[in-house]
Chains A and B, each alone.
Chain A
Amino acid sequence: MFLFIFVAIPLIVASVMLIIERFSRDVLPDFLANLCFFLLLCASIMISCSWPGSGQYMHILKWFSTNLNIKVVLDGLSLLMIFTISIVSLSVGLFSINYMGKYGSKSLYYAILLVLVASMNGIVLTADLFTMYIFIEAAGIASYGLVSLGRTRYSTEGAFKYLVLSAIASSFILLGIAGVFVNTGTTDIRSISASGFSSKFFIILFLTGFSFKCGLVPFHTWMPDAYTAAPAVLPAVSSGIFVKVAGVYTVARIFFNALPFSAGVSFVMVYLGIISIVVGALLALGQSGLKRLLAYSSISQVGYIILGIGIGTPLGIIGGLLHMFNHAIFKSLLFLNAGAVEYTCGTDDSLKLGGLGKNMPFTSTTNVIGLLSAAGVPPLNGFWSKLIIVVALFKANMFLYGFIAILASVLTLGYLLLIQRRVFFGKIKECFENIVDVPFWMNLSMVGLGLVCVWVGVSFAPILIKWVLPAANVLMQGIRTSFCALGGIL
């Protein structure tokens, strides 16, 4: 029963949200939604504390004396994702107390956000491929809705373009799942790996479909448009957790636990990762809009994650998973900062802004923490994960890719520092001289994420041992069984 609350409670609160709108427009929806997120965070911390380190929890619910079979499975990888989802969703929930006040119906927004969080929890808590697909679609529909809530001229167009491209990707994924089902008679992950099915055609279908969801090059075109057209909370949730849950987590599940992990898959993942890192960093250089630049930066950082996981060695997987967690934290922080700037100044074009650091000290400081983390500067959290990925690359004799990763990190530092200088330091423009600082809840959520960045960076061993290592073990089990035949890279 306990694990099912991750999916059930957000859905129940979402359905109640519309009813309570009659009674209270602002306070009650805020309170209920954030209470729900806080409860989920506490629940995930409680589960992590009592986690034995390996194995899986499987809950089979029985209701009203019928044998309903809701099989909720939690293993190391799912635990890492649940923890990440709860932290980021709580921060975004707190942020939107003030931020979404200008956007119309807040309870409707919270309802969509709660369905999104419930679907993401559903993706990571199931052991069945088709259930995963259903929740990916549910979360996708919620994302289209959040994009169209933006107040720019092209929100609806951005949402529609995102819908069409995402539907194409989902059809690839569904075709792959259908192919696996037709060939093995089941969609359960354990049974698929037991039957040993593997086929190049369906592997290519899966990789294409999930690369769309991740935003890997050359399937990244939806990301900048959708993120600029949306209110800043959507990129924080989407790039922070949804891209990783629907893209990276599912790729890891399918290619490490369901289908055998061959050297070909590893090569393709490494290759896609490197190309995304380079193209994302280069495309980010010329951007002046904050959200657009951060979208290209996300493409680059997701490339790091796929690169780390695709190497296939234990060190690479640990680096990739740790970077997944770190990126969720610092990228959400950066997007929330962009949202704060947009809230006070009405624009996120860095050429029109300047010198905001005096009036918005918390935003400016947390932005510095976020960008240093993104660039991999010690002692923040990004440094450790990038270091582990680079060391894993060198140990696997991919020296060229290691150097490219380091260079891209320097590029990241370059363009993010440029934005920081333009927006927060320097002389303030006359039209913005009288702006006030952002309200309390927005500051609280940004400072909270910044503190998590610093804490993970300074004492990253507990995070590593408690969450990342069990997750890596789950993936390594898949590799051990398939690399034995190839005399692998271990």
Chain B
Amino acid sequence: MVNNALHNGLAYTYTVFAMLFIGFYCIFTRRSMIRLLIGIEIISKAICLFIISGSYPQGTAVAQVLVITVIVIEVCVMAVGLGLVINAYRRSKSIDVRDFSNLKG
């Protein structure tokens, strides 16, 4: 962000986009179910950084509230995802997404 109050504003924007790229790379090229969840986690961290660094320093109260809520939502989604991983493992002893051969899309 080319923001007068924030030195190195561009660096923060670049970090956000780099983390987004790494997160999407993880989701699209990895085969383990747990790694897909790690990718989702990375993307939401990037968005949190975007919210906080983009509203520096004036709007930080509202920005912090947004980030706290996003973190809570992420925890619930992760928990449900990991529960599904455990369920899938109990059923078929494999957490490889390429084994989802029944799903054709």
Contacts and interface: CB of A to CB of B under 8 A. Distances in A.
B50 to A, nearest CB: 5
Prevailing SS type, chain A contact patch: helix
Contacts of A224: 104-105
Contacts of B62: 181
B85 A160 contact: yes
B100 A168 contact: no
A134 interface: yes
Contacts of B88: 156-157, 160
Contact of B40 (A156, A158, A171, A229): A171
A391 interface: no
Contact of A178 (B27, B40, B50): B50
Interface stretch (A55-63, A140-148, A368-376, A438-446): A140-148
B69 interface: yes
Contact of A134 (B33, B43, B54, B73): B73
B80 A154 contact: no
A163 B102 contact: no
Interface in A364-404: none
B70 interface: yes
B69 A185 contact: no
A225 interface: yes
B40 A185 contact: no
Contact of A225 (B44, B66, B80, B103): B103
A43 interface: no
Contact of A182 (B50, B70, B100, B105): B50
Contacts of B73: 134, 137
Nearest to B88: A156
B105 A130 contact: no
Contacts of B104: 224-225
A181 B81 CA distance: 28
Contact of B80 (A144, A158, A175): A144
A161 B100 contact: yes
Interface residues of A, number: 32
B84 A144 contact: yes
B47 A154 contact: no
Prevailing SS type, chain B contact patch: helix
B77 interface: yes
Given A153-B102, A160-B33, A178-B47, A185 B55 contact: yes
A154 B51 contact: no
A171 B20 CA distance: 10
B84 A171 contact: no
A168 B46 CA distance: 13
B27 A145 contact: no
Interface string A159-180: 1110110011001001100110
Nearest to B66: A130
A144 B62 CA distance: 30
Interface string B62-105: 11001001100100110011001101100100000100101111
Interface string B1-29: 10000000000000000001000100100
Contact of B55 (A130, A141, A181): A181
A164 B87 CA distance: 16
B59 interface: yes
Given A148-B84, A160-B33, A163-B81, A154 B100 contact: yes
B77 A137 contact: yes
Interface in A196-231: 221, 224-225, 229
A174 B48 CA distance: 10
A24 B69 CA distance: 36
A158 B104 CA distance: 10
Nearest to B58: A185
A148 B40 contact: no
22 contacts: A134-B69, A137-B77, A158-B103, A160-B88, A161-B103, A163-B77, A164-B27, A164-B36, A164-B40, A167-B40, A168-B27, A171-B40, A171-B43, A178-B50, A178-B66, A179-B50, A182-B1, A182-B51, A185-B58, A185-B59, A221-B105, A224-B105
Interface of A: 130, 134, 137, 141, 144-145, 148, 153-154, 156-161, 163-164, 167-168, 171, 174-175, 178-179, 181-182, 185, 187, 221, 224-225, 229
4 closest A-B pairs by beta carbon, nearest first, are A182-B54, A221-B105, A154-B102, A225-B103
